[in-house]
Chain A
Amino acid sequence: MNPEFRRNVWLELTPRRLMTMTAVLVLAFFAAAVSGNEWLPLSAATTLFYFIVVFWGARNAALSVVGEIRERTWDFQRLSALGAGEMTWGKLFGATIFNWYGGAICLVVILGYRIAHDGAIAGLISLVYFVVIGLIAQSVALLSSLIAAMRRQRHTQLEVFSYQVLGIVAAFLAYSVWKIADPAGAIGVRLKAAADTIPWWGQDLNARAFLLTSLAVFAGWTLVGCYRAMRLELKMLNGPFVWLSFLIFMGIYVAGFDAWLPKSDAISVRDAVALRLALAGTTFAIITYIMVLLEPKDRVLYRWMGAELAQGHLGRIAWAMQGWMMSCKAAFIIGIALIVWLVHEDAAPAAAFVGAALGFLLRDVGIFVLLQALPGPRRGDFAAVVTLFALYVLAPAIANGFGASQSLVIFYPQLTTPVWTSPAVAWAEALIIVVLTVSRIAGSVRRPSAAAAV
C-alpha cells in the first residue's frame, strides 16, 4: 500500500473517530426520517456531504502539505523515494479519508433516494457528480497549498483558510455549472432556464452529458495540476508538454462556445473563425494572468534562463519554462493568427485592437515580474494587482471625469484613428517595462566578497 496513504490512515481512521462519525450521521438521518418530511433525509444527506467532503475535506487537503511544512516534516517527505504520483494520491485521498468515510455514508442515503425515485441511471449520475465535486474541491485546495509551498509562503491559519476557500469556490462553480442542466432550475449561474442542450462547436449536445463530462475532465486536469506541482516540489523537472496539452485543450474547449457570444460589430469580428480565435486567445491571456499571479517570480530562475539563452541552450530553457511563459506565448501565437485573419478580412481596426491587447498583456506580465524583483518586503504580487487596478479602472475613470478620453489609449486597447496609435502606445509601454525588468533581474545578485576567495 502507498506509504503516505497508509500513514494518513493511521492518523485519520482511529476506531474512536470512525465510531463518532458513524453515530453522528446515523442520528442525523434518523432525526430527519422521523420529522415526517419524506425528502428531509435526502436534504440532510446532501448538506452533510457538502459539509464533510467539500468544506471540511478541502481544509484537510490543504493541510496535507501545509501541515507538513508547519510541522517541519515536509523536507523529510521530499527526501523520500515516493514518486510524485504516489505522494499526490497518498495525500489527496489519505488526508481526506475520514471525510470520504463520512461522505460515503451520506452517499448511501442520497443514492438510495435517487435510485428509488428516479432510477438507476439518475443514481449513477448523482454518484459521479458528488464524487467529482468532492474531488474538485479537495484537489483545488491541495493544488493551492502546493503552489503556496512553491512560493514559500508562511502558511498562517488565514492562508490555509484561503486555500480551503479556493477549493470551496471551485466546487461552487462546478455546482453552479451542473445546475444549468438541473431540471429543478439554475442556482448561481442562471441561464434563462434549465438547458436541455448546449451548443458547442456548432453541435447541440445533451446538456447533462456535456456538463458532467466537462466537470469530470476539469477534475482530471486539477489532479494533473496537483501531480505536476508535486513533481516540482520533489525537485523533478516537468517539461513543457503537459502544460501545452492543457493549453491546447482549453483553447479548443473554450473556442467551441462561440455561439454563446452576443453578436456585436464593436470590433468588427464577423465570423466564427475570428470569434473562435478570439476566444482561444482570450483564454490563454486569462491563464497567463492567473499563472503569473500564482507562480513564484523566481529571479534566480530568470537569471539562469538568461544565461542559458546566451549560450543557446534552448532545450534546457524549454524544460524549465513556467506556466505563464508558455501561456503568454500561446496567447501571442493565437493573437498573431487572429491579426493575420482580420487583415485578410479587411478588418484593420480590429487587427490593431488585438495588436494593442498583446502589447498590454506583455506590459502587465512585465509589471508582475518587475515588482517582485524590486528590493524591499515581498509584496510584489499585491502591488502588481493594485497597479493593474489603477491602470485599468482608476486612471481611466479619472481621465473620463476630466473629459480626456483620448488618453485612455495609454491604459488599455482602444479603437483609434489612425489605427496604429493604440498598438504603438501599448508596445512602447511594454518595451519600457521589459527593459526595466530585465535590467533589474540581471543586476540584483550580491556575490561573495573576494576576500573569501581562495
Chain B
Amino acid sequence: MIEVRDLVYEYPNKRALDGVSLTVAPQSITALVGPNGAGKTTLLRCLAALEPPYAGSVTIDGLDTRESPRQIHERLGYLPDFYGLYDELSVRRVLTYAAWSHGLAPALAGAAVEKAASRVGLADRLDSKAGELSRGLRQRLAIGQAIVHEPKVVLLDEPAAGLDPQARRDLSSLLLQLRDAGMTLVVSSHILAELEDYCSTMIIVDDGRVVGGKPIKVRDDERPRYMLELATARSDLRQFLVAAGIDVIETGDHHALFTFTRNPSARAKLIRDLVKAGFDVSSFAETTRALEETYFAQVKAS
C-alpha cells in the first residue's frame, strides 16, 4: 500500500531523511518509532504528500506523491501531532466539512458522519461545539476527521499524546477496528508502550535513516511471542525447546522467549511436556514487551 524508495528530504541546512526505503503492507498497523528529531514527522509528511521528496519516490496506493498529491489526499487520513479544530462549529459540522472536502457526495456524508462519530465515541455529542470538548474528546474528533471518508491509508502522528489510560485503551481498539475495516495505518510515537497493543510492524528511524534498513515484524497474530519462566534454573531449556521444534528468540537458565502458535491445545501440550521433563514452570504467558525489546535490540545492533 505504501512504497518508499531511496527517499531523501532536505531542509535548507540539514538532510532530514537520507535514502529511506520501506514497504507497508495493506491492512496493517505499522509503528514509526525513534528518538525526538529522528525524522518521524518529516517522513509522515512525505508519506502524506505534504512535502515533496528531494530525491527518491513515495507511492501510496500506486500513486506518486509528486505527480498526484491531490488524488493521494483523497485516499488519505492524517492526524498531525499539533492539530487544530474549527472550534465554532459543531462536531457534526466539523465531520460533515471533513467528509465533503474529501470528496464524499453530500447524500453519503450524513451516514459517514454518524459512522465516524460512533467509531470515535462522539455519537452523543454531535451537536456540541468542538471548542467545548475536553482534550481527550478533541483528540477523538480529530481522529474522526481523519477517518470520516474511509481512507485507504491513515497516518497518525503521536495520536495518544495527552490521553488518559482509558482513552488510550479506546484508541488501541479503534485502530484495530480500522485495520479490520481494511485501512492501512502508520502510527508515529516515541512512547513504545502505547504502540504495543496494536502494531504488527515497526520502523525505527534514527538520524534520518531506517535502522536495520527495513521494517521489522514485531507481532504475529498467528504466532505471538511467549515468555516462559522457571522457578529452578535449567541450562538445557534452550536445547529442549529447539528439539520440540520451537523458534527460540532468547533463553537464559530461568527463562525463554520464543514464538509459538496461539492454539490453546498446542500450548497446553507444551506446558505438559515441560512439566513432564522436570522443568519447574512458574510462568508461561504471551509477552507484551516485544516492541520495546525489539527496538532496543535493533538500536543496539546498529
Contacts and interface: CB of A to CB of B under 8 A. Distances in A.
A6 interface: yes
A10 B94 CA distance: 11
Interface stretch (B82-90, B170-178, B189-197, B279-287): B82-90
Instruction: Please give me the 9 A-B residue pairs with the lowest Cβ-Cβ distance, nearest first.
Output: A72-B84, A452-B207, A3-B100, A80-B101, A81-B74, A81-B103, A73-B84, A71-B84, A235-B69
B101 A300 contact: no
A454 B211 CA distance: 6
Interface stretch (A24-32, A340-348, A442-450): A442-450
B60 to A, nearest CB: 12
B206 A452 contact: yes
A446 B14 contact: yes
Contacts of A445: 10, 12-15
Contacts, number: 114
B159 interface: no
Interface of B: 10-15, 18, 48-52, 54-55, 65-66, 69-71, 73-74, 76, 78, 80, 82-89, 93, 97-98, 100-103, 145, 206-213, 302
A448 B89 contact: no
Contacts of A75: 50, 78, 80, 83
A313 interface: no
A303 interface: yes
A10 to B, nearest CB: 6
B54 A3 contact: no
Contacts of A71: 84, 86-87
A310 interface: no
Interface in A49-94: 68, 71-73, 75-83
Nearest to B205: A452
A453 to B, nearest CB: 6
B209 A300 contact: no
Given A80-B101, A299-B12, A300-B10, A10 B76 contact: no
Nearest to A73: B84
Nearest to B74: A81
Interface residues of A, number: 41
Q: Which of A6, A80, A82 has the most CB of B within 10 A?
A: A80
Contacts of A234: 69-70
A236 B100 contact: no
A235 B49 contact: yes
A57 to B, nearest CB: 20
A304 B12 CA distance: 11
A7 interface: yes
B140 to A, nearest CB: 15
Contacts of A300: 10-12, 54
A226 B106 CA distance: 27
Given A235-B69, A448-B208, 9 more contacts: A6-B100, A72-B83, A73-B86, A76-B145, A235-B49, A235-B50, A445-B13, A445-B15, A449-B207
B209 A453 contact: yes
A78 B50 contact: yes
Contact of A10 (B15, B82, B89): B89
Nearest to A71: B84
A10 B18 CA distance: 45
A79 B78 contact: yes
A72 B101 CA distance: 17
A300 B8 CA distance: 11
A236 B13 CA distance: 24
Given A6-B97, A7-B97, A235-B50, A81 B102 contact: yes
Contacts of A373: 12
Nearest to B77: A79
Contact of B101 (A81, A235, A299, A304): A81
B205 to A, nearest CB: 9
A11 interface: yes
Candidate in B15, B69, B70 with the most chain A CB atoms within 10 angstroms? B70
